[in-house]
C-alpha cells in the first residue's frame, strides 16, 4: 500500500512538473523567438537608418555610383544587404549586387516594404528574394532627400541559426529540469509515502487492537484523521464491550437452563447449541456449523424439524437403554427462515406418572382383600349365619378386626409416606445418643420379640451421638427391628449396633433369620416391594416400612443399605451425621 501511495505521488508530481516544464519551455521558446525577431527587425531598421544618414553626406544630387558605393560599404560593415531605391523604384545601389548587376535589377516599386516606405512609413517584411533566391527579412525607411527608399535586409537563415542555438540551450535546460523533476518527485513521494505509511500502520494497529490509540501530533488533516481513527477505535471498543456483555449474558442463560436449545438456520444447520441440548442428545465436540442431520441420528427428531418449517410442532420420543424420554418442541423463525428446537428430559415426569399409576394399582390391590373380607364377614353375620354360634361369631369378628388393623396400618404408612414426600414431615435435628435411641426401640418391641423368643441385643458404645430427628430415628429403628423380629426364625437374635465410619455414624440392625436373596436386595426399599408377599401380609406387613425408612434417613442426610450376614440373616444399615462437637460433649456428659 505504501508503494502505491509513493508511486501515485511520484507520478503526480512528475506529471505536474512535466506539464509546468513543457508549457514553460514552449512559452519560453516562443517568447525568445519573438524577441530575437524583434531585435533583428530593430537592428535592420537601425542599419537602414544608418545607411540613410550616410547617404545624406553625399549632398543633394549624388552620383549613382556614389550611392552604390555607400551601400556596398555599409553592407560590408553591418553584414546586412543595403539597397538604395529611387522614387520611381529603380535600384541605384545594392551591397549584394555588382555595378553590372544593378543594370539588370528589376524595378522595386511593387515590393511591399518599398511601397510602405514610399508612403512615409518604416516597414519590416519577411519574404522571398527573387534577386538572391532565398528568404530575407527586409526593413525599409523613407529617404526624403533622394525621394526614394533605403532598405536593409538579412537572410532569415541567420535568425534561424540564433533560434536553433536557443533550442539547444532550451533542450539542455529541459534535461536539467527532468533531473530536478525526478529528484523532487522522488523526495515528495518518499515523504508522503512514509507519512501515509506510518499513519496506515498505526491505524491498522489500533483497529486490530495491537495498539490502543494513535498519536495525534498535528492539527492538520492528518491529525484529524488520527483523531477520527481514535474515535472509531473508542466506539468500536465500546460496541465490542457491549457485545461481549450481551454474549456473556446470553451464554449464561443458555448454559444455565436445564432445557436443551438448538437454533437452526434456514438450511437446518446448527447455529447455537447449549450444553443441556448436547447432554440430552449425547453430542460430542462442537456441532455448531454442521447440519443437524449429520450429528443427530434420530429420525423422529429430524422429521419433527422438517414439520416445524410449516408451524410449531412437538413430539416425544425415547432414547437409549434404559430409555430416556425427550420432549421436543420446534418453533419456526419467520424472520430468518430458521427455527428453534427446545428439548426437555421428560423421563422423570414419565417415571412419576408410572409411579403414580403403580401406587394407585398397589393401594387398590392392598385394600381390596381386607375390605372384601370385612364386608363378607359382616354380611355373613348380618345374614344370621354366625350370630347364633358365639364361637363362630367371635372368629368372624376377630378376622374383621385383624383386617381392619391391616387397613389402619396401611393407611397410617401411606399417610406417613405422603407427608414425607410432600415435605410435610417437620424435622427437628438435634443431638441424639444412639445407645439411648436403640434402648427405646428394644423396650418398645420387647413384647413382640418375646412372643417369638427372639433375643434383642444392643452393641453400642456410650457417647456415640448423631445429629438427627428423635421421632424419625425412633420410627426408622422400630421399623428395622420389627422387620428383623418378624422375618427371623423363632429363638433368633436381633442386634442393634453402631460405629463411626468416614466421619459419620453407621447404625446396623442385623438378624440371623433367612436373609434376603441377592436379586431382591436392591429393590426391598421400593414401595410395596416384598420378597414374599403372602408371608408379609400374613405377618401384617404393608410393604411400605423400608420405603419409609429410606425416605426418613434421606431427610436426615443419611443413606440406607443392606448386607447379607454369614451364614444367614440380614444386616440393614443407615448412616447419620455426627453431632456437633460441643453439643456432643454436653450430651455425652449428661448421659454418663
Which of 185, 545, 560, 573 touches ligand ADP (CB under 6 A)? 545
Task: Verify binding: residue 542, ligand ADP, rule CB under 6 A.
Answer: yes
Task: Verify binding: residue 573, ligand ADP, rule CB under 6 A.
Answer: no
Q: Which residue has the cell 515528495?
A: 188
* Nearer residue to ligand ADP within complex by CB, 86 or 547: 547
Task: Verify binding: residue 452, ligand ADP, rule CB under 6 A.
Answer: no
In 3-state terms, what secondary structure has residue 473?
helix
Which of 532, 577, 586, 588 touches ligand ADP (CB under 6 A)? 532
The C-alpha atoms of residue 45 and residue 124 are separated, in whole angstroms, by 8
Contact residues for 555 (Cβ-Cβ < 8 A; gap 6+): 420, 425, 427, 469, 472
Binding mask of the shown chain, residues 149 to 188, with x at each position contacting ligand ADP by CB under 6 A: ----------------------------------------
Q: To the nearest whole angstrom, how small is the minimum distance from the Cβ of residue 279 to ligand ADP?
A: 35
* Nearer residue to ligand ADP within complex by CB, 52 or 406: 406
Q: Could you say which DSSP state residue 512 is in?
A: -
Taking the CA atoms of the chain, what radius of gyration do you get in angstroms?
A: 65
Q: To the nearest whole angstrom, how small is the minimum distance from the Cβ of residue 293 to ligand ADP?
A: 49
Candidates 119-127, 242-250, 380-388, 524-532 — which segment interacts with ligand ADP by CB under 6 A?
524-532
Candidates 71-79, 107-115, 152-160, 530-538 — which segment interacts with ligand ADP by CB under 6 A?
530-538
Task: Verify binding: residue 431, ligand ADP, rule CB under 6 A.
Answer: no
Which of 62, 193, 370, 543 touches ligand ADP (CB under 6 A)? 543
| 243-251 contacts, C-beta under 8 A, 24 or more apart | none
- Are the CB atoms for 330 and 304 separated by under 8 Å? yes
Residue 32: exposure state from Cβ atoms within 10 A (0-12, 13-18, ≥19): middle
Task: Verify binding: residue 513, ligand ADP, rule CB under 6 A.
Answer: yes
* Nearer residue to ligand ADP within complex by CB, 131 or 510: 510
Task: Verify binding: residue 277, ligand ADP, rule CB under 6 A.
Answer: no
* Nearer residue to ligand ADP within complex by CB, 216 or 533: 533
* Nearer residue to ligand ADP within complex by CB, 8 or 520: 520
Q: To the nearest whole angstrom, how small is the minimum distance from the Cβ of residue 578 to ligand ADP?
A: 26
Which of 149, 189, 484, 574 touches ligand ADP (CB under 6 A)? 484
Task: Verify binding: residue 445, ligand ADP, rule CB under 6 A.
Answer: no
* Nearer residue to ligand ADP within complex by CB, 147 or 554: 554
Q: To the nearest whole angstrom, how small is the minimum distance from the Cβ of residue 521 to ligand ADP?
A: 9
Q: To the nearest whole angstrom, how small is the minimum distance from the Cβ of residue 410 to ligand ADP?
A: 9
Q: To the nearest whole angstrom, how small is the minimum distance from the Cβ of residue 370 to ligand ADP?
A: 14
* Nearer residue to ligand ADP within complex by CB, 322 or 517: 517
CA dist list (Å): 8 to 20, 201, 222, 226, 503: 18, 18, 18, 22, 83
Binding mask of the shown chain, residues 552 to 571, with x at each position contacting ligand ADP by CB under 6 A: ------------------x-
Element (H, E) at 437: helix 434-451
Peptide bond into 567 cis (omega under 30): yes
Candidates 188-196, 208-216, 221-229, 509-517 — which segment interacts with ligand ADP by CB under 6 A?
509-517
Q: To the nearest whole angstrom, how small is the minimum distance from the Cβ of residue 529 to ligand ADP?
A: 6
Secondary structure string (H, E, C) spanning 225-275: HHHHHHHHHHHHHHHHHHHHHHHHHHHHHHHHCCCEEEEECCCCEEEEECH
The C-alpha atoms of residue 402 and residue 559 are separated, in whole angstroms, by 34
Candidates 53-61, 327-335, 447-455, 511-519 — which segment interacts with ligand ADP by CB under 6 A?
511-519
Candidates 22-30, 204-212, 465-473, 525-533 — which segment interacts with ligand ADP by CB under 6 A?
525-533
- Are the CB atoms for 178 and 21 separated by under 8 Å? yes
Residues in the chain: 592
CA dist list (Å): 317 to 2, 314, 343, 344, 411: 63, 10, 11, 11, 37
Residue 23: exposure state from Cβ atoms within 10 A (0-12, 13-18, ≥19): exposed
The C-alpha atoms of residue 147 and residue 149 are separated, in whole angstroms, by 7
Which of 13, 431, 483, 575 touches ligand ADP (CB under 6 A)? 483
* Nearer residue to ligand ADP within complex by CB, 431 or 475: 475
Residue 44 CB: number of other CB atoms within 10 A? 24
Task: Verify binding: residue 536, ligand ADP, rule CB under 6 A.
Answer: yes
- Are the CB atoms for 511 and 492 separated by under 8 Å? yes
Task: Verify binding: residue 214, ligand ADP, rule CB under 6 A.
Answer: no
The C-alpha atoms of residue 249 and residue 474 are separated, in whole angstroms, by 50
Buried b (16+ CB within 10 A) or exposed e, 190-216: eebbeebeebeebbeebeeeeeeebee
Candidates 40-48, 96-104, 312-320, 535-543 — which segment interacts with ligand ADP by CB under 6 A?
535-543
Residue 526: exposure state from Cβ atoms within 10 A (0-12, 13-18, ≥19): middle
Q: Provide the binding-site residues for ligand ADP, judged by CB under 6 A.
A: 483-484, 487, 511, 513, 516, 524, 529-532, 536, 541-547, 570
Amino acid at each position: 500500500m505504501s508503494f502505491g501511495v509513493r508511486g501515485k505521488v511520484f507520478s503526480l508530481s512528475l506529471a505536474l512538473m512535466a506539464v509546468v516544464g513543457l508549457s514553460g519551455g514552449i512559452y519560453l521558446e516562443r517568447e525568445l523567438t519573438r524577441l530575437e525577431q524583434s531585435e533583428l527587425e530593430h537592428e535592420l531598421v537601425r542599419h537602414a537608418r544608418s545607411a540613410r544618414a550616410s547617404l545624406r553626406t553625399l549632398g543633394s544630387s549624388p552620383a549613382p555610383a556614389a550611392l552604390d558605393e555607400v551601400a556596398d560599404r555599409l553592407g560590408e560593415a553591418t553584414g546586412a544587404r543595403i539597397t538604395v531605391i529611387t522614387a520611381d523604384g529603380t535600384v541605384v545601389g545594392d551591397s549584394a549586387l555588382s555595378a553590372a548587376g544593378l543594370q539588370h535589377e528589376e524595378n522595386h516599386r511593387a515590393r511591399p516594404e518599398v511601397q510602405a516606405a514610399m508612403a512615409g512609413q518604416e516597414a519590416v517584411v519577411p519574404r522571398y528574394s527573387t534577386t538572391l533566391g532565398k528568404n530575407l527579412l527586409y526593413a525599409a525607411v523613407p529617404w526624403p532627400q533622394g525621394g526614394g527608399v533605403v532598405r536593409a535586409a538579412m537572410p532569415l537563415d541567420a535568425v534561424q541559426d540564433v533560434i536553433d542555438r536557443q533550442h539547444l540551450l532550451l533542450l539542455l535546460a529541459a534535461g536539467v529540469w527532468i533531473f530536478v523533476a525526478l529528484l523532487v518527485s522522488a523526495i515528495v513521494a518518499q515523504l508522503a509515502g512514509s507519512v501515509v505509511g506510518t499513519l496506515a500502520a498505526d491505524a491498522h494497529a489500533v483497529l486490530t487492537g495491537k495498539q490502543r490509540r494513535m498519536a495525534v501530533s498535528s492539527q492538520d488533516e492528518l491529525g484529524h484523521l488520527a483523531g477520527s481513527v481514535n474515535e472509531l477505535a473508542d466506539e468500536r471498543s465500546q460496541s465490542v464491550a457491549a457485545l461481549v456483555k450481551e454474549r456473556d449474558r446470553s451464554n449464561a442463560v443458555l448454559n444455565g437452563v436445564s432445557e436443551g436449545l438448538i437454533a437452526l438456520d434456514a438450511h437446518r444447520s446448527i447455529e447455537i447449541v447449549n450444553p443441556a441440548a448436547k447432554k440430552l442428545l449425547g453430542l460430542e465436540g462442537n456441532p455448531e456449523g454442521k447440519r443437524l442431520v449429520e450429528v443427530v441420528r434420530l429420525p423422529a427428531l429430524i422429521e419433527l424439524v422438517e414439520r416445524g418449517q410449516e408451524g410449531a410442532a412437538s413430539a416425544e420420543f425415547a432414547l437409549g437403554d434404559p430409555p430416556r424420554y425427550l420432549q421436543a418442541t420446534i418453533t419456526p423463525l419467520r424472520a430468518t427462515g430458521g427455527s428453534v428446537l427446545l428439548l426437555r428430559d421428560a423421563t422423570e415426569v414419565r417415571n412419576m406418572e408410572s409411579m403414580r399409576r403403580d401406587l394407585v394399582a398397589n393401594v387398590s390391590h392392598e385394600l381390596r382383600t381386607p375390605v372384601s373380607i370385612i364386608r363378607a364377614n359382616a354380611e355373613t353375620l348380618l345374614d344370621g349365619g354366625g350370630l347364633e354360634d358365639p364361637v363362630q361369631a367371635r372368629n368372624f369378628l376377630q378376622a374383621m378386626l385383624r383386617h381392619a388393623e391391616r387397613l389402619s396400618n396401611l393407611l397410617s404408612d401411606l399417610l406417613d409416606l405422603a407427608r414425607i414426600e410432600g415435605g410435610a414431615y417437620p424435622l427437628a435435628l438435634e443431638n441424639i445418643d444412639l445407645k439411648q435411641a436403640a434402648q427405646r426401640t428394644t423396650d418398645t418391641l420387647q413384647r413382640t420379640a418375646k412372643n417369638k423368643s427372639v433375643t434383642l441385643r444392643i452393641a453400642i458404645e456410650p457417647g456415640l451421638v448423631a445429629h438427627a430427628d428423635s421421632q424419625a430415628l425412633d420410627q426408622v429403628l422400630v421399623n428395622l427391628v420389627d422387620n428383623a423380629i418378624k422375618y427371623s426364625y423363632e429363638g433368633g437374635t436381633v442386634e442393634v449396633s453402631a460405629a463411626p465410619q468416614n466421619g459419620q455414624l453407621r447404625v446396623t440392625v442385623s438378624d440371623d433369620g433367612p436373609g434376603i436373596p441377592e436379586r431382591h436386595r436392591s429393590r426391598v426399599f421400593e414401595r410395596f416391594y416384598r420378597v414374599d408377599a403372602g408371608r408379609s401380609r400374613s405377618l401384617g406387613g404393608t410393604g411400605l416400612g423400608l420405603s419409609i425408612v429410606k425416605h426418613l434417613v434421606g431427610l436426615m442426610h443419611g443413606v440406607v443399605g443392606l448386607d447379607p450376614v454369614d451364614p444367614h440373616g440380614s444386616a440393614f444399615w443407615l448412616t447419620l451425621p455426627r453431632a456437633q462437637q460441643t453439643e456432643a460433649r454436653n450430651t455425652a456428659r449428661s448421659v454418663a
